[in-house]
A = this chain, B = another copy of it.
Amino acid sequence: MTNSFKYGLIGFTGRLGREVVSTFAESKNELVFKFDENTTEQKDTPQILIDCSLPVVFERTIEFVNQFNAPLVIATTGLSEQQLNILKNISEKVSVVQSYNFSVGVQILLKLTETAKEKLGDWDIEIIESHHRFKKDKPSGTAKMLRDLFPDKKVPISSLRLGNVVGEHTIYFGGMGEVLSLSHIAISRRTFAEGILKSAEFALSKDKGFYSFSDVIFNK
């Protein structure tokens, strides 16, 4: 297995940040630097930085990457084109893993959908996504990623909002006489924290370069 490492966490008080802390602790990785709106604490020099914060913090994140000369795993959503370009520039110096979805299963779902499409692309295709009632955007980003695999087709997306469902996505391929469906259910935010852990281990194994979470999973 991978050796344990010392890490810094930007956005340590958010939902995902707290999940990262407990997941990383189970693998004996040590939180030596943490940053949030009201707090900066440093016990040691981090070997890698994790960012689970918001786009407004982005500038500070880049400062910390430069300060520690450390690789970065960034889960912040809603980054601007300009911010993504800054990440690409800095990835010429350190390795960077950037994604809007750190669930392994969703990456597999996307890959399987591409494979299924080769043979079943002319079947009827439908996507359903279910999320908690507090999610305001419809459809989900992941549902859109699935739909975008079919550029030549109008694939309908049905969005359900139910209680506090973490997140579910199903894609159906309906033929004459049979239906094939691929389904992903996120049970807890822990799955995203584990994806971030895998990404950290991946980033630590690279000298530099800009990577997606798909690269991490499929070892590119």
* Least CB distance, A180 to chain B, in whole angstroms: 4
Q: Restricting to A169-183, which residues have a CB under 8 Å from any CB of B?
A: 172-183
- Which residues A144-186 have CB closer than 8 A to chain B? 156, 158-166, 172-186
Contact residue among B160, B162, B179, B183 (Cβ-Cβ distance under 8 Å from A163): B179
Contacting pair B109 A112 (CB below 8 A): no
B179 touches A180 (CB 8 A): no
Given the interface pairs A128-B158, A176-B164, the reply to whether A182 lies near B112 with Cβ below 8 Å is yes
Cα A125 to Cα B123 in complex, Å, equals: 28
Cβ of A95 under 8 Å from chain B: no
Alpha-carbon gap, A181 to B105, bound state (A): 10
Asked whether, in the complex, the Cβ of B112 is within 8 Å of the Cβ of A175, the reply is no
CA distance A109 to B115 in the complex (A): 10
Interface centre among A109, A181, A217 (most CB of B within 10 A): A181
A185 close to B191 (CB less than 8 A):
no
CA distance A190 to B176 in the complex (A): 8
Residues of B within 8 A of A208 (CB): none
Copies in the complex: 4
Give the residues in chain B near A191, CB-CB below 8 Å: 175-178
Q: Please pick, from B120, B126, B163, the residue contacting A178 in the complex, using a CB distance under 8 A.
A: B163
Chain B residues with CB under 8 A of A124: 133, 161-163
Given A179-B105, A182-B182, A165 and B161 contact (CB-CB distance below 8 Å): no
| A177/B194 in contact, CB under 8 A | yes
Cβ–Cβ < 8 Å partners of A173 in chain B? 105
CB <8 Å contact, B161 and A158: no
Are A172 and B176 in contact, with the CB atoms below 8 A?
no
A162: contacting residue among B119, B126, B162, CB under 8 A:
B126
Known: A178-B184, A181-B183. A172 touches B158 (CB 8 A): no
Interface string of A178-220 (1 = CB under 8 A from B): 1111111111111110100000000000000000000001100
Task: Sample 5 A-B pairs with CB under 8 A, ordered by A number.
Answer: A128-B158, A164-B176, A164-B188, A165-B179, A177-B191
